[in-house]
Amino acid sequence: MSLLTLENVATAYDTPQGRFRALEGVSFSVAKGETVGLVGESGCGKSTLGKTLMRLVPSDEGSIRLDGAEISQAQGRALMPVRRKLQMIFQDPFASLNPRHRIRRILTGPLKIHGVASRAERNRIAEEIVQRVGLPGDALDRYPHEFSGGQRQRIGIARALILRPQMIVCDEPVSALDLSIQAQIINLLAQLKAEYGLSYLFISHDLSVVRYFTDRVLVMYLGRIVESGPTRDVWNNPRHPYTRALIDALPEADRPREAAPLAGDLPGVQNLPGGCRFHPRCPYATDLCCRSEPLIDAKGGTHGFACHNPLPLKA
Amino acid sequence: MPSDSTLHKALAKPAVRTQTAQPTPRPEWRHIHAPDARSATTAHLPRRQGFRELKLFLRNPNAIFGMVVLLTMALCALTAPLIFPRDPLAMVSRPFLWPGQDPAFPLGTDSMGRDVLAGLVHGARISLYVGLAATALGLGVGIIVGALAGYFGGLTDRILSRLIEIFQTLPSFVLVVVLVAIIGPNATTITVSIAIVTWPTVARLTRAEFRSLRENDFVIAARSLGFGHAHIIFREILPNALPPIIVTSSVMVAGAILMESALSFMGLGDPNVVSWGSMIGGGREMIRTAWYLTALPGLAIVVTVLALNLIGDGLNDALNPRFSEDRL
Amino acid sequence: MTAVLSVEDLSVHFGPARPVDRVSFHVNPRETLAIVGESGSGKSLTALSMMGLLPRNAKVSGRVLIQTPQGPADMLGLPEKRRRLLRGKQIAMVFQEPMTSLNPVHSIGHQIEEVLIAHENLDRAARRTRVLELMNLVRIPDAARRIDDYPHQLSGGMRQRVMIAMAVACRPRILIADEATTALDVTIQAQILQLLDNLRRELDVAVVLITHDLGVVSQWADRVVVMYAGLHVEQATPAQLFGDPLHPYSYGLLRASPRSDAGLTYRDAPLAEIPGSIASARGEVGCPFRPRCPAAREVCGTVQPPPIQHRGDRLVACHFPGILTQEERHVAAYA
C-alpha cells in the first residue's frame, strides 16, 4: 500500500524574468517502509520537490496524497496532521538548528504545539530520542554550536523523529558531512527505519550513497523525472542516457581517464530547450528529440524512462 | 579490494534492531573493541555559556567607561528629588554666581539665581526619560513593522516598505518640531514625536535581517514542524535578528537625547521641567560673560552621548560574531 | 627525476594548536598527487603553505622547496616580493568556490589579462590573443564571444574553467586544485577533472589534488598522501591504498564508503563506521587516531608513530601497519 502518491505535480516560482516551472508532471509513489532515492544535479528541482511535499511551497497542479488524504491544498490547521506524518531532515546541520535555542527547546517545542500537554512527558520523550540517535544524555541542555557537524545532524534527525512520523524527507542529509561521519548517519537512518517502519524520500546528488541506501530511485533532470525504477535495475541497466552519464561521471578506480564525460552545462529551467529537455547534451539525440518531449511511463514502480532512443536492455 | 558479500557480513555485524530505547546499538566497526569515542567526545566538549557576549562586552574598557558614565547619570536622575528636593526652577541665591564661589552652589547660579547643579541633575531625568522612552517606542513599532515586512514579503512588504520610505524622506527634525508645535510641548508628546521619526531606521534594519534569516533552514524546519507565524517571527527569527538592533538602539538613545535638547534649546521643550537643552537656551545670551551657563549642560550632553556611543561600539564588537570569534 | 616541489617537515602553528604537524612529501614532474583527508585534517592549510599564503597569525616551520630555472627556492624563507614572482610563474592554485574567487565587477577576459599584466611583458594585442588562447585551452566554448562576459553570467563549471585559465596563464610547473570540483555537479566535476588531466599532459604541469573524495583519488591520482589531524598518516599509489590500506584510518575510510561494497545495500549490511569524529584527536598524546582506532594498543596512547617506509616506496605512520587489512583477510579465510 502506498503511503505517499504524487500525480502530475507541477510547481512554479516567480523570478524577475518571469514564472518558471521548477517541477513538471511529477508522478511517483512511496510505499510504507520503502526508501526512494531522488537524484539529479543542482537546479534540477529535487529540493523543490521535497519542499512541495512538505507543503512549504505551494504546488500549482496535480495531486499529493498522504496516507489516502489529499494534501496539496491543505492550509494552516489542516496541515497539522500532515506534519505529524511527514517530516524533514536538512542538508546543512549548521543552518538547520536555531543557534539561540537549547536542544531541549528544539526537541520539545514541536511536541508542545502538537498537543503533548505535560512538560514531564515532553522531556521524557526528548531524553529518549536523544539517546536513540546516539547523543549523550546531557546534550539537551546545550546549544547547537557546542556540537560537531555529525552530532548536529543527529539532533536534526531527532527533531524529525520526535513527532513519530511515518515518512521523512531527507534533503541531502549527508552531503555536508565528512566521509567517516556519513557512514554513521546512514547507518543510523537505516536502524531508525527498521525500528520505526519509516519510509524515506532520500534526496541526494551522490549516486553511490543512493545506490546503497535506496530501494527505488527517481532520476530528475530539469524538473522532470526522466527515469525511475528499482535501484538495482536502474543502476545495472540504465535506459536513459542521462542516468548512464550520471553513473559514468562517478569517479571510480576502474574508469579510464580518457572516457569523455557528458559535455555541456546544465541549462537551468529558465531556458529550457524545446523537445526533450536533455537533447542538447545527449549523444544519441535525433530530430524527433528536438521536436517532441518523451514522457515517462512507469506503472506501479516498474522501471520506466522518458527517452525516444533508450539504451538497450541488457539480458 | 575485497567485496565479497559473505566477508562483509562476517565483518560488520548487522546492528541489533530492537524496539528498546537503549543507547544506540551501534554496529561494531570491527570485532575488536573500540573505545566509544562518540560519547566520550561530547563529554569533554567545551561548554560555551550564553554569557559569552557579556564577558566580551565587559572586557572592553571603552564600553565599561560608557556604562559607568551612563549608570552615574541614571543614578543622578533617579535620586534627584532626594539630593535636590527643592524645585530646580526656584531662585535660591543671587544670580551669576560662578562655579566655586559659594560652596553651597558648587556649579554656580544662572541669571535668575537658580542652582546650576540642581538643574543638571534634574535635567538628567528628562533627558534620559525621553531618550529611553522614545527609543523603546521606536524599537517596538520598528521591529513589528520590519518583522512583518521582512517575514511575509510580497504585498505586505511592498506596502510597509512604502510606509517606511515615506517617513524616511521627511526631514526628521523639522517633523519633530512641527509635531511638538501642533500637539503642545510636554514630555510625552516629545517622546512620541521622536519615536515617530526614529522607527523607520529600526524597521529597515529589522526587515533586512528578517529577509535573510527567513530563508534559513531552521526557519523552514520550524514551518515544517507546524509552528505558526507568530511563533516563528518572535521566537525563532527575532532572537537571531536582535544583535544589530541592540547596537543601533544605544545610538538611538543618544540621538533622542540630542533631539530633546535641541527642542528645549529652541524653547519647544516642556516649560515646567528643567532640561539640559533649555539651560543652554537660557544661558546663550550670556555666553560672553557667563560661558559656564552653556558649557556645563553642553558638557553633560556631550558626555552622555559619548557614553552611549561607546556602549554601542562595545555592543557591536561583542555581538558581531566576526569580531568576537577570534577573541574567545 | 627531481621533484618539482618538495615539502620538508612542514608545521603550521596557531597559538598552541598545530593543525599541520611535520608533514613531508614531494611532487614529481607531470604527476597527479592527491592529498586526501576530511575537514580538520590540515590538507587545505598544507596547500596554502605551499603557496606561501598562510594567514599572518600562523607560525610556520619547515621548508617548501620549489624547483625554478635558477635552482630550488624555499617559498617559506623568501621575502613576500620574491614569493609573488613564484606564484603564477612556478606554482598556481585553484580554489573551491569559483563564485567568490572571481571578482564580480570585472569581465573574465579582463581578469585573465590581469595575471598576464602582472607576470609577462606583452602589449595589449598580444595579451588579448593569449587570453583567447587560454580560454580555448580550458575549453570555454565560443571564447571570442565569452571574453567580455562577467562571472555572474557563467555557470559554476565555466567559472571554474576561468579560474583554471588564470592559474595556468603563466605556465606554472605546479597546479594545486584545492577541492576545486567539490562544489560542482558530478557531470561537471568529471569535465573539470578531465580538463586538469589534459592540461597536465599538454602543459607539462604537476597537479596536486586536494580532496576528500576517495573516488576522485582512485581515478585521477598517481600517488596519494592521506592526512589525519594535521599528520601525514599514509602515502601510496591508489592501487596500493585501495587494495591494501596500511593505516587503520585509511582502512576505515575505504570501508565506510558505500562505493566499496559493490553490490551491497543497506538491507544487507550496515556501512563500517569510524566512531567519533576528528575532534577526538584534540589534546591527545600518542597517535591522534587512537581514540577512534579499533586496533589501538597501549603503546599508541604514549608514542606518536612517525611516518616510516614500508614495503618499498610506501609510507605509513602506524605502530601496526596493515593490521586491520590482515585481520580482514584472516576472517575471510575462515569464513
A271 domain residue, yes or no? yes
Average pLDDT rounded to a whole number, residues A59-83: 89
Which member of A97, A187, A190 has the closest CB to residue B218? A97
Among partner residues A41, A182, A191, which is closest to C187 by beta-carbon distance?
A41
Instruction: Give the pLDDT of residue B186.
Output: 87
- Tell me if A188 is assigned to some domain: no
Which residues from A are below 8 Å from B46, CB to CB?
Answer: 146
Determine, for residues C275 and B4 on separate chains, whether the beta-carbon distance falls below 8 Å. Answer: no
* pLDDT at position C80: 86
Is the minimum CB–CB distance between B41 and chain C shorter than 8 Å? yes
Interface of A with C in 50-109 (CB under 8 A): none
Contact C269 B34 (CB under 8 A): no
User: Count of domains in chain B?
Assistant: 1
Q: Rounded to a whole number, what is the distance in Å from the CA of B20 to chain C's nearest CA?
A: 19
Contact B217 A83 (CB under 8 A): no
The whole-number average pLDDT for the span A142-152 is: 88
Mean per-residue pLDDT, A80-89: 93
Binding-face residues of C in 27-86 toward A, CB within 8 A: 38-39
* B174 belongs to a structural domain: yes
- The residue among A42, A265, A269 with the most chain C CBs within 10 A of its CB, best to mutate, is A265
What is the residue range of A289's domain?
236-315
Average pLDDT over residues B281-290: 86
Please, is C319 exposed, middle or buried when counting C-beta atoms within 10 Å of its C-beta (0-12, 13-18, 19+)?
middle
Contacts of B48 in chain A (CB under 8 A): 143, 145-146
Say if residue B4's pLDDT is above 60.
no
Give residues 185 to 224 of A whose Cβ lies within 8 Å of C: 186-187, 190-191, 205, 207-209, 211-215
Three-class DSSP category at B240: helix
B positions 16-75 inside 8 Å of A (CB): 17-19, 21-27, 38-39, 41-43, 45-48, 50
Asked if the structure places residue A269 within a domain, the reply is yes
Query: Which residues in chain B are closer than 8 Å to A97, comparing Cβ atoms?
Result: 218, 221
pLDDT of res. B3: 40
Question: How many domains does chain A fold into?
Answer: 1
Q: Region C100-119: what's the mean pLDDT?
A: 88
Mean pLDDT of A71-82: 88
- Contact status of B5 with chain A (Cβ, < 8 Å): no
* CB contact (8 A) between residue C272 and residue A211: no
Residue A146 burial (CB count, 10 A): 17
DSSP lists the bridge partners of residue A87 as A168
CA distance C287 to C298: 11
Within-domain flag for A282: yes
The answer to whether A104 contacts chain B (CB < 8 Å) is no
pLDDT tens, C263-289? 788 888 888 888 887 776 666 688 888
Chains that touch C (3 or more CB pairs under 8 A): A, B
The answer to the question of residue B56 being in a domain is: no
Asked if B224 lies within 8 A of A87 by C-beta distance, the reply is: yes
Q: Do A183 and C257 touch (CB under 8 A)?
A: yes
Q: Answer whether A237 touches C (CB < 8 Å).
A: no
pLDDT of residue A254: 72
The answer as to whether A40 is a domain residue is no
- Residue B3 domain-assigned? no
Q: Could you tell me if B226 lies within 8 Å of chain C, comparing CB atoms?
A: no
Q: What local confidence, expressed as pLDDT, does residue B68 receive?
A: 94
CA distance C147 to C131: 8
Residues of C in contact with A209 (CB under 8 A): 258
Q: Say yes or no to pLDDT of B44 above 50.
A: no
Q: Is B327 on the interface with C (CB under 8 A)?
A: no
Closest chain C C-alpha to B246 CA, distance in angstroms = 31
Q: Pick A139's closest partner by Cβ from B17, B23, B42.
A: B42
- Span C26-51, average pLDDT: 91
Give a yes or no: residue A185 inside a domain. Answer: no
- C115-132 pLDDT per residue, tens: 888 888 888 899 999 999
Give A221's contacts (C-beta < 8 A, 6+ positions apart). A40, A41, A44, A242, A277, A278
Domain ranges, residue B287: 62-74+109-327
| DSSP H or E segment with residue C22 | strand C17-27
CB contact C294 to A (< 8 Å) = no
Question: Hey, which bits of chain A come out as E strands?
Answer: 2-15, 18-31, 35-39, 61-66, 69-70, 86-89, 167-171, 199-204, 216-221, 224-230, 304-305
A181 and chain C: CB distance < 8 Å anywhere?
yes
Task: Confirm whether B318 is domain-assigned.
Answer: yes
- Measured in angstroms, the CA of C326 and the nearest CA of chain A are apart by 21
B324 touches chain A (CB under 8 A): no
**Distance to chain C for A74, nearest Cα, Å:** 35
> In whole angstroms, what is the distance from residue B211 CA to residue B231 CA?
16
Touching subunits of A (3+ CB pairs, under 8 Å) are B, C
What number is the average pLDDT over the span A223-227? 92
B118-154 burial by CB neighbour count: b if 16+ within 10 A, else e?
Answer: bbbbbbbbbbbbbbbbbbbbbbebbbbbbbbbbbeee
pLDDT (tens digit, 9 = 90+) per residue, B58-82? 888 999 999 999 999 999 889 888 8
> Is residue A270 in some structural domain?
yes
Show which subunits contact B, needing at least 3 CB pairs below 8 angstroms: A, C
> How close C14 gets to chain A, by Cα (Å)?
21
Highest-pLDDT range among B133-142, C50-59, C79-88: B133-142
Residue A234 CB partners (closer than 8 Å, separation 6+): A217, A219, A227, A228, A243, A303
**Is A1 domain-assigned?**
no
Q: Hey, which bits of C90-245 come out as E strands?
A: 91-94, 174-178, 206-211, 223-228, 231-236
Whole-angstrom distance between the N-terminal and C-terminal Cα of chain A?
30
Phi and psi at C91, nearest 5°, equal -140, 135
pLDDT of residue C282: 64
Residue whose cell numbers read 561521471: A249
In the predicted structure, residue B15 carries a pLDDT above the cut 50: no
- C191-212 pLDDT, tens digit each: 999 999 999 999 999 999 999 8
Contact call for B226 and A114, based on CB within 8 A: yes
Give the residue carrying C-alpha cell 529652541. B266
Closest CB to A135: pick one of B15, B42, B48.
Answer: B42
Q: What is the pLDDT of residues A242-274, one digit of tens each?
A: 999 888 888 877 777 766 677 777 777 777 888
Of A49 and B85, the one with more pLDDT:
A49
Q: Which residues from B are below 8 Å from C269, CB to CB?
A: 5, 8-9, 12, 14
Please give, rounded to a whole number of angstroms, the shortest distance from the CA of B245 to a CA of chain C: 29
Grid cell 518572535 is found at B234
pLDDT (0 to 100) of residue A281: 87
Q: Is residue B308 part of a domain?
A: yes
For residue C281, what pLDDT is reported?
62
Phi, psi (degrees; rounded to nearest 5) at A66:
-115, 120
Whether residue B44 is contained in a domain is answered as no
Nearest to C52 by CA among C18, C88, C26, C25: C88
Residue C264 has its nearest CB partner, among B5, B38, B40, at B5
Q: How far apart are CA A129 and CA A146, in angstroms?
A: 19
The CA distance from A102 to A120, in Å, is 17
Using alpha carbons, select from A64, A55, A53, A67 the residue that is nearest to residue A3.
Answer: A67
What is the nearest CA distance from B299 to chain A, expressed in angstroms?
A: 40
CB-CB: which of C187, C258, C259 is closest to A245? C187
A35 touches chain C (CB under 8 A): yes
Q: Does any domain span residue B204? A: yes
Which tens digit of pLDDT belongs to each residue from C61-86? 999 999 888 888 898 888 888 888 88
Q: What's the pLDDT score for residue B109?
A: 84
Question: Does some domain include residue B224?
Answer: yes
pLDDT tens digits along A53-70: 999 988 988 999 999 899
Residues in chain B within 8 Å Cβ distance of C291: 35, 37, 40-41
Give chain C's domains with CATH numbers. 5-227 (3.40.50.300), 245-334 (no CATH)
A95, A114, A188: residue with CB nearest B218: A95
